[in-house]
Chain A
Amino acid sequence: MTNGNAPIIQMTDIEKHFGSVIALAGVSVDIFPGECHCLLGDNGAGKSTFIKTMSGVHKPTHGQILFEGRPMHFNDPRDAIAAGIATVHQHLAMIPLMSVSRNFFMGNEPEKKVGPFRFFDHDYANRVTMEEMRKMGINLRSPDQAVGTLSGGERQTVAIARAVHFGAKVLILDEPTSALGVRQTANVLATIDKVRKQGIAVVFITHNVRHAMAVGDRFTVLNRGQTLGTAQRGQITPEELQDMMAGGQELAALEGSLGGTV
């Protein structure tokens, strides 16, 4: 539970080019354990490219990534998962037709031996799933319930609980709240808070400043592949963040006519 001073991931001067397109032009970010690091940016700002670089999907064109103080060389996302970097994608996380416990243990199925055969240990899987979901504040009707019957927020929570259960040190959440209602968003934000208190580093990608302000410890704004530095909680106001994301002017003009509701 140490909120140590050593960052778990240090990304320095990351550049990523796709052919002639410069998606990232020198981004530097440090991620600390037990903190929620909010990565803000409008569509096309380079958020997705950045987290894919962090989770091993892309290799940076330039720049250095240190994971726990050592240079990181991941050949594919499986390596990153094994090292403890888990990404929860907005859509590609759960299989709606399968039960919660089958989803929870997908790819990590517990087994018990009966004679020479190995069977899926459903009792263990169901028990652990119920337990982990209760820790996150969700009471499942039954672990056999299909994920399709859960709300969007509950699905995100299952995905987060799964990543935490399987030993994630860094949890990357790709726009977990963008498609959710108010109450569900609150649930997911509460889950992020619980995870952070367990000493896990959370990288929270969003374009909603209010969601970021609710749980963030540090804020980095990406704009057109570049960053304007990282601010700590209390050093920056929501208005400033919003301005940095949108590039200022247009939104300021809009805000005048909308009466400050954006």
Chain B
Amino acid sequence: MGDAASTSPSQDERIKEISALRRALIRPELGGMVGTVAVFTFFLLFAFDSGMFSSQGVMNWAVVSAQFMIIAVGACLLMIAGEFDLSVGSMIGFAGMIIAILGVTLGWPMWMAILATFALCMAIGALNGWIVVRTGLPSFIVTLAFLFILRGFTIFLPQMIERKTIIGGIRDAAQGDWLAAAFGGKILGGLFVWLGDMGLISVFDRGTRAGQPVVDGIPMLIVWALVLIVFGHVLLTRTKFGNWIFAAGGDAEAARNSGVPVNKVKILMFMFTAFCATVFAVCQVMEFGSAGADRGLLKEFEAIIAVVIGGALLTGGYGSVIGAALGALIFGVVQQGLFFADVESSLFRVFLGVILLGAVILNTNIRRIITGER
């Protein structure tokens, strides 16, 4: 085994040597990387002095990107395991509404409301997964049903209980709650005060908060996004379970023949997707202070688009969490950047469509090189 690193004597003369640079580039995330560089170059050229790269500007698109990242990580792992979840958007609205009903209407302590919501939503995720593996139906159809079921409840429940579709007062109910702070709070406030004092970031120059930095900390939303990305990436690439995720999505039958508990893997991934959607929902209701029946609309597609820009294969078995996170970053930067660049916001969709198509074509070619599909 000592000579494993040295070139073997009987190299196949038909295999061309691949340069180190090319090998470093040929990876599933390449499409996302190229897209990220392209997007930042574009905005640095056309919107540099618009405030997009000031501390408030960065925080603006970073928060939006982090929202996409949170749901993209769940959607990414689930897609690699070979399934879809179209109920993510409805789950976000549903989770927010359940927190509001438990925490405000029923007056539970906020930490209890949050934990109960996580438990309920992950149970629904498990039900999604259980139906998919039991019936063998495409997850597309099963989760489409839940898209309607959960959205229906999200509209029906607050109307029945409070005769309105938005429940407010969450910020007051969450005041001083330890778990709510883990979703709605900010960290590193001291650092930002220091940066403001040093004149590195802008500070308020009048009013009651004069002298304080405009951006006064990193929202927990961004912390959650980074934690989930690191967790998802390590789980996928560095653990036994990650190998099972790839195997379950690559070929469920072959994986079963090799002793991989495919059904368990898939159900757990549905639960993880529900977990991510709930994290998104809790951060959102803590930020807005209210839960609305229309929250999270179309989020499932945005998550799937971010994952596909990031190099994952729609049919499963291939993809990268880092790529999905870059896809989410592209999404967030483009959406907010066009606003800064003062471009008509409907062009956001045009831009996004172009990036989606470009990244997917590039990713398809890379994947063919890596996997020898051609």
B4 and A106 form a contact (CB under 8 A)? no
Q: Is A248 an interface residue (CB 8 A)?
A: no
Q: Is B11 an interface residue (CB 8 A)?
A: yes
Return the contact of B239 from the options A77, A108, A118, A149 (Cβ within 8 A): A118
Q: Is B8 an interface residue (CB 8 A)?
A: yes
For window 232-273 of B, CB contacts with A under 8 Å fall at 238-240, 242-243, 246-247, 250-251, 253-255, 257-260
Q: Is A186 an interface residue (CB 8 A)?
A: no
A102 and B372 form a contact (CB under 8 A)? no
Please give the number of chain A residues whose Cβ is less than 8 angstroms from any Cβ of chain B in the complex: 33
Q: A81-B259, A118-B240 are in contact. Are A97 and B371 (CB under 8 A)?
A: yes
For window 214-248 of B, CB contacts with A under 8 Å fall at 238-240, 242-243, 246-247
For window 123-157 of A, CB contacts with B under 8 Å fall at 127, 130-131, 134, 139, 141, 146, 148-150
Contact with A along B306-347 (1 / 0, CB 8 A): 000000010001100000000000000000000000000000
The docked-state distance in angstroms from the alpha carbon of A251 to that of B210 is 99
Q: Can you list 20 A-B pairs with a CB-CB distance of less than 8 A?
A: A87-B257, A92-B253, A92-B257, A95-B254, A97-B246, A97-B317, A98-B246, A106-B243, A107-B247, A107-B260, A108-B259, A118-B239, A118-B240, A119-B239, A120-B243, A130-B4, A141-B12, A146-B371, A149-B370, A150-B372
B240 and A148 form a contact (CB under 8 A)? no
Q: Is A39 an interface residue (CB 8 A)?
A: no
For window 173-218 of A, CB contacts with B under 8 Å fall at none
The docked-state distance in angstroms from the alpha carbon of A122 to that of B257 is 22
The docked-state distance in angstroms from the alpha carbon of A93 to that of B10 is 27
Q: Which residues from chain A contact B258 at a C-beta distance below 8 Å?
A: 106-108
Q: Is A255 an interface residue (CB 8 A)?
A: no
Q: Which residues from chain B contact A106 at a C-beta distance below 8 Å?
A: 243, 247, 255, 258, 260
Q: Which residues from chain B contact A127 at a C-beta distance below 8 Å?
A: 1, 4
Q: Is B15 an interface residue (CB 8 A)?
A: yes
The docked-state distance in angstroms from the alpha carbon of A94 to that of B258 is 9
Q: Which residues from chain B contact A139 at a C-beta distance below 8 Å?
A: 8, 10-12
Top 8 nearest A-B pairs by Cβ distance? A149-B372, A107-B259, A95-B250, A107-B258, A109-B240, A148-B371, A146-B371, A148-B372
Contact with A along B1-44 (1 / 0, CB 8 A): 10010001011100100000000000000000000000000000
A92-B251, A95-B317 provided; 12 other pairs, C-beta below 8 A?
A: A87-B257, A95-B246, A95-B254, A95-B255, A105-B243, A108-B259, A118-B239, A120-B238, A130-B4, A134-B8, A149-B370, A150-B372
Q: Which residues from chain A contact B15 at a C-beta distance below 8 Å?
A: 141
Q: Which residues from chain B contact A93 at a C-beta distance below 8 Å?
A: 254, 257
Q: Is A89 an interface residue (CB 8 A)?
A: yes
Q: Is A96 an interface residue (CB 8 A)?
A: yes
Q: Which residues from chain A contact B246 at a C-beta distance below 8 Å?
A: 95, 97-98, 102
Q: Is A68 an interface residue (CB 8 A)?
A: no
CB nearest neighbor in B for A91: B254
Q: Is A165 an interface residue (CB 8 A)?
A: no
For window 53-109 of A, CB contacts with B under 8 Å fall at 77-78, 81, 87, 89, 92-98, 102, 105-109
Q: Which residues from chain B contact A148 at a C-beta distance below 8 Å?
A: 371-373
Give the interface residue-count category, chain B. 20 to 34
Contact with A along B330-374 (1 / 0, CB 8 A): 000000000000000000000000000000000000000011110
Q: Return B176 CB to nearest CB of chain A, in Å.
A: 32
The docked-state distance in angstroms from the alpha carbon of A77 to that of B253 is 13
Q: Which residues from chain A contact B242 at a C-beta distance below 8 Å?
A: 120
The docked-state distance in angstroms from the alpha carbon of A149 to that of B317 is 16
Q: Is A111 an interface residue (CB 8 A)?
A: yes
A94 and B240 form a contact (CB under 8 A)? no
The docked-state distance in angstroms from the alpha carbon of A222 to that of B240 is 42
B4 and A131 form a contact (CB under 8 A)? yes
Q: Which residues from chain B contact A107 at a C-beta distance below 8 Å?
A: 247, 255, 258-260
Q: A95-B251, A120-B243 are in contact. Are A77 and B371 (CB under 8 A)?
A: no
The docked-state distance in angstroms from the alpha carbon of A245 to that of B306 is 56
Return the contact of A131 from the options B1, B251, B257 (Cβ within 8 A): B1
Q: Return A166 CB to nearest CB of chain B, in Å.
A: 10
The docked-state distance in angstroms from the alpha carbon of A150 to that of B260 is 23
Q: Which residues from chain B contact A130 at a C-beta distance below 8 Å?
A: 1, 4
Q: Which residues from chain B contact A146 at a C-beta distance below 8 Å?
A: 370-372
The docked-state distance in angstroms from the alpha carbon of A96 to that of B4 is 24
Q: Which residues from chain A contact B317 at a C-beta distance below 8 Å?
A: 95, 97-98
Q: Which residues from chain B contact A96 at a C-beta distance below 8 Å?
A: 250-251, 371-373
CB nearest neighbor in B for A122: B238
CB nearest neighbor in A for B257: A92
The docked-state distance in angstroms from the alpha carbon of A14 to that of B253 is 27
A89 and B4 form a contact (CB under 8 A)? no
Q: Which residues from chain A contact B250 at a C-beta distance below 8 Å?
A: 95-98
Q: Which residues from chain A contact B251 at a C-beta distance below 8 Å?
A: 92, 95-96
Q: Which residues from chain A contact B257 at a C-beta distance below 8 Å?
A: 77, 87, 89, 92-93
CB nearest neighbor in A for B258: A107
